[in-house]
Amino acid sequence: MAQVPTIRTVCSTRDYAHAAIVAWRFIYKGALPTKEQVGVLYAQWIAETGGRHCYCWNIGNVKVAPAQVNAGVPWFDLPGTWEIINGQRVVLKEGDPGRRFRAYASLDAAMAEHMALLKEKRFKSAWPSVENGDPHGFAHALKAGPDGKQGTWDDYFTGSVDQYAANMVAAHKQWMRSDAFEKSLEDVVAASEAETQPDLDVYVSEGPIATVTVLPDTLMPCARCHRQSCNGDCLDAA
């Protein structure tokens, strides 16, 4: 694949929370994140897209490298993209590689790769701030980039770090007032428990008061009459 159509992809706060929790559990081998931790990721999504200007599920506005383009990694062109160059805001022209962004097939796919980028790849130095639930520290670590210096070519963003951090802190506070995390966490845990439940047969007894008994895969015979279908009626006949 190569260039794909530029399509706006919007999700709810709860959808974002659900995807983040699922990706976190995968990375941490089943461990669940805290609300503060997911809140840092959410805050960056808001700082980057406002929650409304996300395209092709690129939740972190991650650009595609020339080598990735050559390798067939899907990407899209985003008109209106700007960068701070020599202290000036410059809108990039059509054909500029700076307008090329990674494209993803789904929110879940985007979340998994974005978290891997932040935790295990280029910007892993910023990840401790996510684990600490610190949006301000995370913004400054992203600005410093892999070389640890702000204002160099490998920064995550070219804009003002103070403004970026302020936007993240405000979004994090908004997140903490929301119940999206709690509801999404309940959904994820419930789905996980349902997946681990064994497939058991259910026997419903007859009588004035119906009772439900979960039967094992191999029904053990009655110790008194040695019938598998006894269900205790041999006691009534005794």
Q: Kindly list the averaged pLDDT for each block of 10 residues, start to end, along the chain of length 238.
A: 90 96 94 97 95 94 90 92 83 89 95 92 92 97 84 78 96 97 94 62 38 37 45 44
Can you name the residues that pair with 82 across neighbouring β-strands? 91
The reply to whether 161 falls in a domain is: yes
Same domain, residue pair 221 and 171: no
Same domain, residue pair 190 and 223: no
Same domain, residue pair 99 and 161: yes
The residue behind tokens 């794909």 is 4
Q: Which DSSP string do the residues of 3-72 spell out, in sequence order?
A: B----B----HHHHHHHHHHHHHHHTTTPPPPHHHHHHHHHHHHHHHTTT--BTT-TT-PBPPHHHHHTT
Number of domains the chain contains: 2
For 88, list phi and psi in degrees, rounded to 5: -115, 145
The reply to whether 190 falls in a domain is: yes
Same domain, residue pair 119 and 175: yes
- Do you know the residue count of the chain? 238
The reply to whether 3 falls in a domain is: no
pLDDT of res. 137? 97
Same domain, residue pair 142 and 208: no
Same domain, residue pair 119 and 51: yes
pLDDT of res. 2? 87
Task: Residue 236: give the domain boundaries.
Answer: 201-238
Same domain, residue pair 73 and 23: yes
The reply to whether 120 falls in a domain is: yes
Q: What letter would DSSP give residue 219?
A: P
Same domain, residue pair 48 and 79: yes
Same domain, residue pair 176 and 207: no
Q: Are 138 and 156 in contact (CB under 8 A)?
A: no
pLDDT of res. 146? 81
pTM, full prediction: 0.78
Q: If phi over 0 gives left and psi between -120 and 50 gives alpha, with beta otherwise, what is residue 30?
A: left
pLDDT of res. 218? 38
- The contacts of residue 41 (CB under 8 Å, 6+ apart) are 20, 115, 118, 130
The reply to whether 2 falls in a domain is: no
Same domain, residue pair 107 and 208: no
pLDDT of res. 195? 66
Same domain, residue pair 19 and 70: yes
The reply to whether 107 falls in a domain is: yes
The reply to whether 91 falls in a domain is: yes
Q: Which of 108, 111, 106, 75 is nearest to 1 (CA)?
A: 75
Can you name the residues that pair with 221 across neighbouring β-strands? none
What tokens does 108 get? Answer: 């879940």
Same domain, residue pair 142 and 215: no
Give the amino acid at 29.
Answer: K
The reply to whether 237 falls in a domain is: yes
